């Protein structure tokens, strides 16, 4: 049986599944969501922007939330059959299929780099509609600018820092052998905002488990001392990889 505790920083809508997976592999779990999804207030402007799409546009949905919030705000939105529709990730595509009948393109890499590779293969792009939220990496925006492509970013939801749970913070402070799970840069930065300074310093001495080089680089810049990049966002695979490492003294 594993003796470490996972600090599960994933958002509420992903936290339960993640916690269940790690518990099945013998870990204890503390749930401490570091991102909260909220509605956008000015929906009239968003509806106008969504309805302005051209039949020759490329329309990109960056997440499941981009899909659900776009169609929640504008339930009658009709995307032309001739538009190219891109969904970042299989779950985003599945969510989009519930609201559409279009052919959906899904990049092999489920991130901005994967989208850009798809865009490079399109012979002629009239314009791009990027259905997303603020404070992303802006790689697609930069690619469009460099390529002379008109891009309209439509923020249909917002990410915000949730209200901290004082009881959970106390539990974190009292837990030894903590493994901090970081699946996004935003999550990691919000963790620093949510925790008291003294506890932040304590956490930075714990083992940080992340899923990309970008998160690892951010963690190093923030002062984390022990970082392991397992390079997968598949929680079951990640839990198995981590579980298999538990004969190493640093985890026991």
Residues 195-201 have a mean pLDDT of 95
Q: Which two tokens stand for residue 152?
A: 């309209």
Q: 36 in helix, strand or coil?
A: strand
Domain segments of the chain as ranges: 5-35+164-251, 38-159
Q: Strand (E) positions, the chain?
A: 5-8, 28-31, 36-39, 58-61, 84-87, 104-105, 128-133, 151-160, 178-182, 207-210, 226-229
The fold of the 5-35+164-251 domain, in CATH, is: Rossmann fold (3.40.50)
pLDDT at 1: 46
Domains 5-35+164-251 and 38-159 share a fold: yes
The predicted-structure confidence for 228-252, as pLDDT tens digits, reads as follows 999 888 889 999 988 887 644 444 4
Q: Which has more pLDDT, 248 or 65?
A: 65
CATH of domain 38-159: 3.40.50.10090
The predicted-structure confidence for 12-50, as pLDDT tens digits, reads as follows 888 999 999 999 999 999 999 999 999 998 899 999 999
pTM, two decimals, is 0.80
Question: What's the whole-number average pLDDT of the chain?
Answer: 91
């Amino acid at each position: 049986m594993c003796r470490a505790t996972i600090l599960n920083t994933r958002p509420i809508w992903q936290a339960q599944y993640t916690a269940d997976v790690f518990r099945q592999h013998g870990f204890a779990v503390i749930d401490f969501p570091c991102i909260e999804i909220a509605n956008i207030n000015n929906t009239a402007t968003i509806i106008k922007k969504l309805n302005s799409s051209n039949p020759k546009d490329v329309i990109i949905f960056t997440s499941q939330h981009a899909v659900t919030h776009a169609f929640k705000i504008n339930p009658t939105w009709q995307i032309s059959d001739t538009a190219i529709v891109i969904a970042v990730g299989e779950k985003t595509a599945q969510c989009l299929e519930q609201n559409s009948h279009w052919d959906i393109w899904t990049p092999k890499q489920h991130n901005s780099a994967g989208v850009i590779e798809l865009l490079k293969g399109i012979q002629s792009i009239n314009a791009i509609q990027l259905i997303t939220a603020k404070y992303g990496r802006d790689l697609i925006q930069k690619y469009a600018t460099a390529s002379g492509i008109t891009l309209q970013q439509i923020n249909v939801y917002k990410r915000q820092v949730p209200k901290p749970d004082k009881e959970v913070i106390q539990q974190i402070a009292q837990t030894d052998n903590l493994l901090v799970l970081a699946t996004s840069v935003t999550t990691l930065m919000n963790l620093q905002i949510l925790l008291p300074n003294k506890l932040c310093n304590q956490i930075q001495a714990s083992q940080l488990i992340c899923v990309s080089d970008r998160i690892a680089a951010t963690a190093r810049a923030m002062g984390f001392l022990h970082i392991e990049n397992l390079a997968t966002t598949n929680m079951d695979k990640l839990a198995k990889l981590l579980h298999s490492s538990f004969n190493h003294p640093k985890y026991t």
